[in-house]
Amino acid sequence: MTEFKRISPEQAQSLRSEGGVIVDIRDPNSFANGHVTGSTHLDNQSLPDFIATADLDQPLIVVCYHGNSSQSAAAYLVGQGFSDVYSLDGGFELWRQAFPQETEQGDPA
């Protein structure tokens, strides 16, 4: 895979159940107020460590607010060597509507 793919919340949920990793690129306050259960918050400070320790072949789903910024981030991660990258269409807002039981609150780790 040389490009990222855009996927729906339902497709992301399916990938997640098969071991896909969800990363959230929104600001820390937005992440703390609600995010996909089990997702990892990524920002400029945590990105290098994440890339250094991640399985580059594991499916990676990028989440932002509405599905726009995640496309740029997904393209960047493909350029960093990740082979199976997805951008969540509709972002966290659509995820929250589709899977309200699969969201949680809390500060980034």
Task: Give the number of other Cβ atoms within 10 Å of residue 56's Cβ.
Answer: 13
User: Tokens representing 24?
Assistant: 């959230």
Q: Which of 73, 99, 98 is nearest to 87 (CA)?
A: 73
H or E segment and range at residue 60? strand 60-63
Please tell me the distance from the alpha carbon of residue 62 to that of residue 42, in angstroms, as a whole number. 10
Of the candidates 60, 64, 73, 77, the residue annotated as catalytic is: 64
Q: Please indicate whether residue 64 is annotated as part of the active site.
A: yes
pLDDT in tens, 34-58: 999 999 999 999 999 999 999 999 9
Rg (CA), the chain: 12
User: Tokens representing 38?
Assistant: 């089990």
Does residue 71 register a pLDDT over 90?
yes
- Structurally, at CATH architecture level, domain 5-104 sits in 3-Layer(aba) Sandwich (3.40)
Domain ranges for the chain, please list them.
5-104
- The whole-model pTM stands at 0.95
